[in-house]
Amino acid sequence: MSFKNKVAIVTGAGQGIGLEICSQLAKEGSKVILNDVDEILAASAVKQVIDATGEACIAFAGDASEPAFIQRMVDTAVAKYGHLDIVIANAGITLFGDFFTYSPEAFLRVMQVNLAGTFFLAQAAANQMKLQPSGGSLLFTSSVTGHQAHKNLAAYGMSKAALEMLAKNLVIELSQYKINVNTVAPGATLTERTMDDPEYAATWSRITPMGRAATVTDIANTALFLVSEKARHITGQSLIADGGWTCISPSPF
């Protein structure tokens, strides 16, 4: 799945799944714009990618839920490289909370980052891609919680299910421009955040049919396939990468 000379934007990529996606894209020859809301984290992540791959990677720190910032990011990619081939809307936040007391502030922040950020990134990217003879590929990061109920994640799960519907709807809007759009839905994944819980790996290894939680490499491998030339005739789909958990859905609690 060569990505040589492709230009990619990946949001929420300072660590975890997003960082691994950037590393794999760069390793395959892509020029990567790496976004994270944390400027120090973004700079550190870019250094890791360049040190590991020797390929071009640029930090673009800022809030990927803000339309004006999103447009600057797209404009920068095009100004520097002349085109934009791949956009992966990976930025998102998880705010756990009991449904009965969940605050309006938490709800609106989840929707702003997970939904508005993805929607307006897709819009800005598609407005560029439709000018290109080759079109492009969009990928949204969903979640198994968009398919199966998970305690204290009503708002988050709602946002992730909505992203999958957005991808389906955009098939109508974007296919004529040779732009495909899909979602990847990770299950339990070992990242810096989840490993703060000392029981996480053991719990999810026990309840996942394949016997372990996903690694960031597992999810990045799935993401790269969906934005590769091998998947150009796949659009409007969600690919679940969860070791089979959604087939039986045992609760971790």
For residue 214, the domain's CATH number is: 3.40.50.720
Q: Is 142 a catalytic residue?
A: yes
Q: How many CB atoms lie within 10 A of CB 196?
A: 8
Catalytic residue among 65, 137, 142, 159: 142
The pLDDT value given to residue 38: 97
The pLDDT value given to residue 225: 98
Could you give the residue ranges of the DSSP H alpha helices within the chain? 16-27, 39-53, 67-81, 104-110, 117-129, 154-174, 200-207, 216-226, 245-248
User: For residue 136, is it within any domain?
Assistant: yes
Q: Is 228 a catalytic residue?
A: no
Q: Is 2 a catalytic residue?
A: no
The pLDDT value given to residue 197: 83
Contacts of residue 144, Cβ cutoff 8 Å, sequence gap at least 6: 150, 185, 186, 187, 188, 240, 242, 245, 246
Instruction: Estimate the crossing angle of helix 154-174 against helix 117-129, to 10 degrees.
Output: 20
Q: Is 205 a catalytic residue?
A: no
The pLDDT value given to residue 56: 86
pTM for this entry: 0.95
Domain that holds residue 234: 7-239
User: For residue 38, is it within any domain?
Assistant: yes
The residues of the chain scoring below 50 in pLDDT are none
Catalytic residue among 65, 156, 159, 238: 156
Domain count, the chain: 1
Contacts of residue 169, Cβ cutoff 8 Å, sequence gap at least 6: none
Catalytic residue among 23, 30, 65, 143: 143
The pLDDT value given to residue 250: 82
The pLDDT value given to residue 253: 78
